[in-house]
Structure 1
């Protein structure tokens, strides 16, 4: 148990260091963007006095390194400052948006994870069959297609031609759970198509790699049914790479939804990021990027811990 805690502690410490480096990159890359923030807020007709007053109010008269540490200390307490456009708290603006993004990601994950693992096991059992070849072609097509392209295809057929689901995922607090599922089905399906394809191929590769192991051959020689070989012998030893794939795809579901939310006008954090970039609302841009980075690092840490717990060789490296 102590070895596991030390390994987890090392992963957590490394994740915090990486997040600190990413915070530096985010802050100073925004600082390097051309243009004057105060000028962008007040417009071209603003006087020098007004510009100077706004710069002082926003802290722009301080050195960049001082503003970075002020921003970092605020971020540690989830205080990302105020929006330049609306003047509201950034945390309040993106908090509700991030909750909606988590709902969309969970909606897609509940469908994608069991379907992908099941299909991966089935195509591994039917390796080199027609079903396996067709599945590989279809999944490779989905992986190679941009999310916005898949989204527009789904809108064309499911919304425009067949009228089954709305093309725009406009939601509000007064909706029932079933109405919410219906409104968000198309963006969730777009994410599912990409995630299932990737997870299925990785699950198939992990299972096929294990099928060549000596203990699998011994189980077959004993007359064990093929499904039992997969479920009782191959799948438990394939959990480590599968968990890694699931965690990375869950990270994608949360951090890679920007294009999907824009296509379906879904009011998530990705849409908030795009709106903030177009309006040069840099506090929201910085907060969204930092949240995306922290989420990705956290899920990678969860993948490492899951791999350690499911693989005895990692639990006992000696």
Structure 2
């Protein structure tokens, strides 16, 4: 197990490093100079030369990459070209706000999705199972931006219960004011993911309930609740953990639409701002942060595999 974790950590480091090479290469190998991309097509030759000198763009590419990569290792993401301040604190602030959305959403997705999946599997073929199956297909197939519009129209425009956009820090607005700005983005993020997780849990749970070890547990006269939650559910959760790990990466880096529609100042909206304003240090740093979070989420999922199912022997001989 220890050897496996060490190998997985090494692979995470390798993936993040490879992403730094790809991001740097894509930005610097595109047609036209980086300075021209930043300043625009009407920039003068003098202004382009000045910016190239300021950013060290006249140096060889390996030297430029090492200067940027060594800065990342020290936690230095460079300076934002538009805000004229270090990009690292900007990324940390944006990531923190996105982590709030992602964390609340992931907890709700895990609790509600698994509970609905178990209910459907235990009551397979019932009216509630059929209704949940129909709802799952609907919520999975409809994109997030549609739900953004629906919840804004219903809860903000028509009922006036919640603010449609914006964000207020907890220290300024208190718990209630802070939470009111999170409800609609969280609801929008969780609708499709709950359907996805519950569908996966139902499928895995049905397979577990038909397995030999569950039949043996029932033959021993064990209580049905004990059979469900001690024998069937831990094994059925293994595919669900993978889905949740993928969803964690999507929630951190893939909530661009939700943050843009609700004007939520998170990492996704910041990346859109960096791209629109050609703020390369901010954009490149944001991509590396998203990659790191996604890789760490998958590492956590692999470790949870072994925790929930001791029969799995990572890095050792099969029992």
TM-score, length-scaled by structure 1: 0.92
* 1:226 to partner: Cα distance: 3.9
- Residue 107 of structure 2, aligned match among 106, 110, 117: 110
Paired residue for 2:52? 55
- Structure 2 equivalent of residue 123 of structure 1: 120
- In the alignment, which residue of structure 1 is the partner of 2:260? 262
Paired residue for 1:191? 189
Q: How does 1:59-74 map to 2 (within 5 A)?
A: 59-74=56-71
Cα shift at 1:64: 2.2
- Secondary structure at the counterpart of residue 311 of structure 2: helix
Corresponding residue for residue 206 of structure 1: 204
CA distance in 1, matches of 2:317, 2:111: 31
Matched residue, 1:313: 311
Deviations 1:63-93 (A, max 9, x none): 2222112111111122111111222111122
Root-mean-square deviation (CA), in Å?
1.9
- Say if 1:241 and 1:307, in contact at 8 Å, map to a contact too: no
* Partner Cα distance (1:220, 1:313) in 2: 21
Q: How many angstroms does 1:270 deviate by?
A: 0.6
Residue 36 of structure 1: CA displacement? Answer: 4.1
Structure 2 residue 27 is matched with structure 1 residue 30: yes
Q: What CA distance in whole angstroms lies between the structure 2 residues aligned with 1:221 and 1:29? A: 60
Deviation of 1:154 after TM superposition, in Å, equals 1.1
Q: Which runs of 5+ in 1 are unaligned?
A: none
Which sections of structure 2, spanning at least 5 residues, go unmatched? none
Alignment of 1:136-285 (within 5 A): 136-172=133-169, 173-222=171-220, 224-285=222-283
State the alpha-carbon separation in 2 of the partners of residues 151 and 185 from structure 1: 12
Q: Secondary structure at the match of 2:59?
A: coil
Question: Contact between 2:200 and 2:240, CA under 8 Å: does it hold in 1?
Answer: yes
TM-score, normalised to structure 2's length? Answer: 0.92
The equivalent residue for 1:95 is 92
Q: 1:132 aligns with which of 112, 129, 132?
A: 129
